[in-house]
Amino acid sequence: MRDGTISSDGLDTFKLGYEFVRDEIGLRREHIKRHPPSQDDKVVAVKTAQSA
């Protein structure tokens, strides 16, 4: 950013996009918890990884 190769506007746009996707994933996970898929659904639940 200091040398002008990355604008702060671009980073703000990326941050908004990232937050939107993160929030949507969280909402989808909550929906799946409340409404578990049936055997016929093609949904795969992935356990959250934990860092050491």
Neighbours of 29 (CB within 10 A): 13
Predicted confidence (pLDDT) per residue in 2-13, tens digit: 777 777 778 888
pTM check: above 0.75: no
* Structure confidence at residue 51 (pLDDT): 67
CB atoms within 10 A of CB 32: 13
Q: How far is CA 8 from CA 3, 20, 35, 36, 37, in A?
A: 12, 18, 40, 41, 42
CA 32/CA 36 separation, integer angstroms: 5
CA 34 to chain centre: 19
pLDDT at 21: 95
Using pLDDT thresholds of 50, 70 and 90, give the confidence band for residue 22. Answer: very high
Ranges assigned E (strand) in 5-52: none
